[in-house]
């Protein structure tokens, strides 16, 4: 059915092709598709590197370079479009060290940071981590905030962090900034955030059977009565 509201599209659209280099090999792929789709388009069976495909899981951390530019940049392959002359490769799994901790048992999480991640205060301010972040987080600032104990600021700054880990291989002080930030954020939640009283009240109400009468009434209703009850709710 056609109407004046629909944009006419009589001719099939022919994709314009661009030339890209994937892991050193040259391919022609349609312009405008994501780097991930370009990998599929060239027939690669991507297993390591494909995750949520929505920019949230960090599985497809990728290094890329645009035509004639010496600067190697970072991106998520699911969220970046190909350009003519672009070169790119997935970041390999990087063997960063994650500290193990039992958050609830920690007595002084801000001090314990230096035991768990002794390299954290050794940041030399090169800013490579911030430049490497595909989420535009000020990573270097975040590491310093963690070191100075401002865990609240860290948790807010890193709410966007997809844990791709691209900040880690570039660090000349061997810090894994995303892991330091995750520790600080969790510690903020466990040790330095108010307990929501309303939630405890509700759990207690359920345990005490406050809703039992309502349940008895509702669970005995026939399908038709239930339908009428739910239809009445606004």
Partner 1 sequence: MDLIAEQNLVHKTRDARRAQTMPKLSPAERDTLIKKYHPDHRAHAYRPIKFGPNAGELTVTEVANLLEGDSPIPSDFVPKPEYSVDVLVVGGGGAGCASALHAHAQGANVLLATKLRLGDSNSVMAQGGMQIAVAPDDSPVQHFLDTLKGGHMKNDHQLLKVMVEEGPSIGKWLLELGVLFDRDADGNLHVKKGGGSSKARLVTCSDYTGLEIMRVLKDEVLNQKIPLLEFAAVVELLSDGKGACTGAILRDLDNNRLIVVAAKTVILATGGIGRLHIQGFPTSNHFGATGDALVLAYRLGAPLVQIDTFQYHPSGGIYPEQLVGALVTEGIRSEGGHLVNGKGERFVNELDTRDVVSSSIIRECEEGRGVRTASGHVGVWLDTPLLDVEHGPGTLDKHFPAMVRQYERYQVDIRKDPVLIYPTLHYQNGGVKIDTNGETPAPNLFVAGEASGGLHGRNRLMGNSSWI
Distance CA 225, CA 209 (A): 24
Q: Binding of partner 1 at residue 14 (CB under 8 A)? A: no
Q: How far apart are CA 22 and CA 62, in angstroms?
A: 11
Binding of partner 1 by 153 (CB under 8 A): no
16 scored as a contact of partner 1 (CB under 8 A): no
For residues 59-82, one letter each, b for 16 or more C-beta atoms within 10 angstroms of the residue's C-beta and e for the rest, the string is bbbbbbbeeeeeeeebbbbbbbeb
Do residues 77 and 157 touch, judged by C-beta distance below 8 A?
no
Strands (E), the chain: 17-22, 25-30, 61-65, 73-76, 87-90
Which of 79, 85, 119, 127 is in the footprint of partner 1 by CB under 8 A?
79
**Applying CB under 8 A, does 87 fall inside the site for partner 1?**
no
Closest distance between partner 1 and the C-beta of residue 189, in Å?
3
- Of the candidates 53, 96, 128, 153, which one interacts with partner 1 according to CB under 8 A? 53
Integer CA distances (angstroms), 10 to 5, 13, 15, in order:
15, 9, 15
CB of 86 to partner 1, least distance (A): 14
Applying CB under 8 A, which part among 16-24, 66-74, 157-165, 169-177 lies near partner 1? 157-165
Burial 126-143 (b: 16+ CB within 10 A, else e): eebbbebbbbebebbebb
Instruction: Tell me: does residue 225 bind partner 1 (CB under 8 A).
Output: no
Choose the stretch contacting partner 1; rule: CB under 8 A; options: 20-28, 61-69, 84-92, 159-167: 159-167
If binding is defined by CB under 8 A, does position 116 make contact with partner 1? Answer: no
- Whether residue 77 contacts residue 33, with contact meaning beta carbons closer than 8 Å, is answered with no
Q: What does the binding site for partner 1 look like in residue numbers (CB under 8 A)?
A: 1-3, 5-7, 9, 13, 32-34, 47-48, 50-57, 59, 79-81, 98, 100-104, 135-136, 155, 159-163, 182, 185-190, 193-200, 202-203, 206, 211, 214-215, 218-219, 223, 226-227, 229-231, 233-234
């Amino acid at each position: 059915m056609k109407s004046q509201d629909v944009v006419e599209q009589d001719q099939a659209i022919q994709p314009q092709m661009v030339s890209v280099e994937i892991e050193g090999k040259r391919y022609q792929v349609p312009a405008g598709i994501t780097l991930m789709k370009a990998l599929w388009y060239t027939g690669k069976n991507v297993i390591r590197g494909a995750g949520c495909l929505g920019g949230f899981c960090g599985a497809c951390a990728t290094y890329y370079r645009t035509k004639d530019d010496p600067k190697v940049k970072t991106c998520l392959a699911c969220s970046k479009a190909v350009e003519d002359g672009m070169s790119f490769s997935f970041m390999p799994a990087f063997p960063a060290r994650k500290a193990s901790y039992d958050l609830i048992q920690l007595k002084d999480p801000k001090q314990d940071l230096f035991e768990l991640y002794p390299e954290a205060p050794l940041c030399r301010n090169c800013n490579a981590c911030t430049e490497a972040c595909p989420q535009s987080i000020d990573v270097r600032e975040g590491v310093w905030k963690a070191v100075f104990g401002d865990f609240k600021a860290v948790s807010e700054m890193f709410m966007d962090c997809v844990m791709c880990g691209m900040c880690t291989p570039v660090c000349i002080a061997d810090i894994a900034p995303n892991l330091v930030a995750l520790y600080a954020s969790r510690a903020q939640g466990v040790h330095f955030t108010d307990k929501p009283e309303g939630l405890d009240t509700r759990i207690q109400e359920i345990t005490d059977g406050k809703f039992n009468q309502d349940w008895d009434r509702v669970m005995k209703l026939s399908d038709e009565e239930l339908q009428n009850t739910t239809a009445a709710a606004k």
